[in-house]
Each structure stands twice: as structure tokens, then as C-alpha cells.
Amino acid sequence: MAAQNQPDWDNLAEKFDLWLPHIAPVGEALLASLVVNPGDKILDVASGTGEPALTLARRNPHAKITGTDAASGMVRAAQNKVKTERLENIDFTATPAEQLQFEDASFDIVLCRFGLMLFEDPQQGLKEMYRVLKPGGQLALAVWSTAENMTTMYWAYEVFKNRLSEEDQPALAKVTSLGAAGALEDLLDQAGFTEFNIQRNSFDYQFQTFEEYWDIIEASDIMKQQFDALPEGERDNVRDEVARFARDFQGENGLRIPHEYILAYGTKQL
Ligand SMILES: C[S@@+](CC[C@H](N)C(=O)[O-])C[C@H]1O[C@@H](n2cnc3c(N)ncnc32)[C@H](O)[C@@H]1O
């Protein structure tokens, strides 16, 4: 049963891969914030269909990487990639972030891209990351910024706000729930992290045309819950309204849509 306030990750697993090239810059920034040593044990929490853990595994054959995600469909998709590529230093398991099945202080590095803000209990998830990290170990996280600065999410809020009932709105609100100034810092403090850096970074979703963007929105099922809840005949109106927003971002290089995220990285105190 899918959580009401999230996309149905189990059922959209492979389709999520359509987004991977578009969020790759965030994975690169996360990995650039880490120092990986041979033999390191690394945990990617809410690892989805496997990124950025798989990239880490390819680049660091002497590190031992584990990915965990609450949705078994996502885990299966990630595990299929491990088999196809015959990677021997990585595996994936289905575990909710709030109850990690690992010993205290068992990882040198813990990372999480675009997972934390979606957890049912982000505070408990972050406490678990702290618990399984060795003293002196490194943490790197990425969460989305506010809706105003996550442009396509702003479009979604605008087009759905007068068309959907209250109960179909939380799925959108959750995505940007840690974007406000200080929200992530507070969570990190409460989980026990005292030494961390926070950066607000921006990158562009890049498409040639609006149609290319909209094809991915539809094909990935990322907003299926919202589309299914729309009144009869409204889907085309929603598309047209989003297309009008997108016009401001269309230039001679194609469609360039800026998105801000927050990168947090640091160490667990010795
Ligand atoms: C936006 S996807 C990101 C996946 C991957 N980290 C990436 O960047 O490609 C969010 C993921 O968080 C997972 N997730 C949501 N709530 C979770 C929880 N409480 N515990 C573990 N994973 C969770 C979902 O199943 C989904 O795979």
C-alpha cells in the first residue's frame, strides 16, 4: 500500500529512471563533498533505483556500499542493475529509514539524495543515520529547497491548488517541506550532528522543448496521484497552464528550468 503523501514508488520504480539524468548534478555535488577511502563502508539511505550509490560503487571498487529504501519495487530495480553490471561491492535492501537494520557505528559514510524530506518521520530517519555512522564518519544529504525555488514544483502547486482537495495536496507539500531557512539545520542539530556545512545550490532541468518535459511528467507517473484526482477533462487544462509557465524558461538553448536544492555535509563528532 503506497503512503498517501508520496508517489507510489513501488509501482513507478523503473519509470523513476527517466529523472536520473536530470538530477545527476545533485549526485555529483553529493559525491564531491565526500572523501572515500579504500575499504570504506558506505550507506545510501532511500537509495531508490540505485543512484548515487551505483556511481559510487563504480568509481570506488574497494569501498563496500549498501543501499536501502522503504519501497521494495525500487530496491528490486536497483538490484537488477547490480546483476546486469556484475558489480561486486554493492547491494540493496528494503528497509525504512526510520528503522535501519544495522549496528551502531557501522558505516564510514552515510548519504541520502532527495529522501529525507519524504520520510514519514524525518527526525527519526536522521537519528538513525547518526546512529549507524562511525564517530568521525561523513554525512552528505540533499533535500529540495522551497517551492518558489524549485520551479517545476511551484508550477505544480499553482495548477493543482484550485483543482484538488486538501488530501491530495500533501504529496506536493512534502517535497519542499525542508526547504525553508533553518529547517534542515534544526533537524541535523536535533539528531546530534554539530559539524556540518549547508549550501543552497541551483541547477537546471534541461529539455529541448516543453513537450519533452511533459512526456517525462506523464511517462514517469510521478504525479499520478494528482492526475487521477483531477476532475474530468481538467488534464489538458493543467498541461496548457504548465506550458504557459514554461514559456518564460524557453530560450535558444532549449528549455532551462532552474531548481534549487540544499546540500548538507559534515562529520559525526569524534
Ligand atoms: C525521490 S526518490 C529518490 C531516490 C534516490 N535517492 C535518488 O536520488 O535517485 C525518494 C525515495 O525515498 C524513498 N523513501 C520514502 N520514504 C522512505 C522511508 N521512510 N524510508 C526509506 N525510504 C523512503 C522512496 O521509496 C523513494 O525511493
- CATH number for the domain spanning 18: value is 3.40.50.150
Nearest CA to ligand 1 atom 8: 113
Question: Does ligand 1 have an atom closer than 6 angstroms to the CB of 51?
Answer: yes
pLDDT score for 120: 95
Counting beta carbons within 10 angstroms of the beta carbon of residue 243, is it exposed (0 to 12), middle (13 to 18) or buried (19 or more)? Answer: middle
Confidence of residue 1 (pLDDT cuts 50, 70, 90): very low
Confidence of residue 170 (pLDDT cuts 50, 70, 90): low
Return phi, psi of residue 197, to 5°.
-110, 145
Please report whether residue 166 resides in a domain: yes
pLDDT at 49 over 90: yes
pLDDT at 2 over 60: no
pLDDT score for 109: 98
Count of H-run helices and E-run strands, the chain: 11, 8
The CA distance from 103 to 133, in Å, is: 9
Question: Does ligand 1 have an atom closer than 6 angstroms to the CB of 260?
Answer: no
Counting beta carbons within 10 angstroms of the beta carbon of residue 245, is it exposed (0 to 12), middle (13 to 18) or buried (19 or more)? Answer: middle
pLDDT at 55 over 90: yes
Structural domain range at position 28: 9-267
Write down the pTM of the prediction: 0.95
| Single-letter amino acid code for the residue at 78 | A
Question: Does ligand 1 have an atom closer than 6 angstroms to the CB of 56?
Answer: no
Please report whether residue 117 resides in a domain: yes
Please report whether residue 1 resides in a domain: no
Counting beta carbons within 10 angstroms of the beta carbon of residue 110, is it exposed (0 to 12), middle (13 to 18) or buried (19 or more)? Answer: buried
Name the residue with higher pLDDT: 225 or 18.
18
Nearest CA to ligand 1 atom 19: 119
pLDDT score for 7: 85
Please report whether residue 137 resides in a domain: yes
pLDDT at 230 over 50: yes
**CB 136 within 8 Å of CB 163:** no
DSSP bridge partners of 112: 141
* Total count of domains within the chain: 1
Please report whether residue 16 resides in a domain: yes
pLDDT score for 166: 75
Please report whether residue 3 resides in a domain: no
- Between the CA of 87 and the centroid of ligand 1 the distance, in Å, is 22
